[in-house]
Structure 1
């Protein structure tokens, strides 16, 4: 009777989600014992030490991420795929969380489903984020800056092109002015501004209000040009 009632309450609150023993104890002091018994019955699945999954009929990774109750932010290239309509498809999902224990549980659960999660831990998530389709997602401006910083130019400039009416270039400029492209002394804003210039030139109209400036890093310049051309070709 008590086990049945606990299972019903558990499903009401956490169906489709990971739940920790500590959280479950808030509804039932004997939660540790009951979760163990439910796992033996196949009604919940043990994920890692102190963590369980309450099964639901989710179809894919995105269904799980939406149903899972814990705080997490979809970031970088994975966030870009949501903003740029999956222009560059990847099977790696990048997330940021504020709990080390939850990070371990997420990674363990992902492995059991043959999903690839790259989960960053931060005491406070440093990425500007917003809600999109039931998920917390890194904002397009922050995502643009971080993708460029990691050399993911195609992800970044597809986002820039498709979300141009939603992106604040002033915000992008502030976020990127002192940020460098990894392993270079090139400022992220310089690469973004150059991409904006290229979009304006190739399309013959002013999509982005930026001043034309010389771009002095030939290696980065070539890759920026290549990414912009691919976006225009396949968009």
Structure 2
């Protein structure tokens, strides 16, 4: 199975190199490149670098890393989605640094993290959806629990590796502020306003838009030993089991 997975990954990577090298992504049907924000931030190379390293695809990893080191800059006058940039670029840079110990990757992560910090400058501490990487301007106060509560693994790791507490503090506050807005039955809603903290849509579920919020409560306790995260997880699970879970085949 591992060999098959590696083969499939290499198939995808080889075609990215052939048809979309230096761009964010490959559109597989048209075999054309795609850049998320009109200019490339190397989404695929950064997001895939740790996997290339783990799979011991050394030549491919070296080529991707060289591209990143030579051409990746976050000094761009472009609005990006904080959530996506955090889990793909910030997370990718951090994990690749931890696998290689190449401080240039950590420096890029630190620069990116600093450029993302303005998203937390709302009255509630909940992050705006978009931030301009160059100017720090933010926009779009309508968000969801996944986008407010799925940041602490990356920002917390950045704090740990750079000895800069601000990243952990900002991301944890966003997680706590999301938890504080759960309903009387213990569930968070679907969409909320970061400026007022009020729910646009109080309906709850455990699909996309909410799912990773719960996931990060557990993972942040396991990774950082943060007891607050464990207590929030413990407070959330009974409500999920009672109101959102369904038995299938007696399980």
Bigger Cα Rg: 1
| TM-score normalised by the chain length of structure 2 | 0.28
- Select the structure that is richer in helix: 2
- Select the structure that is richer in strand: 1
| TM-score normalised by the chain length of structure 1 | 0.30
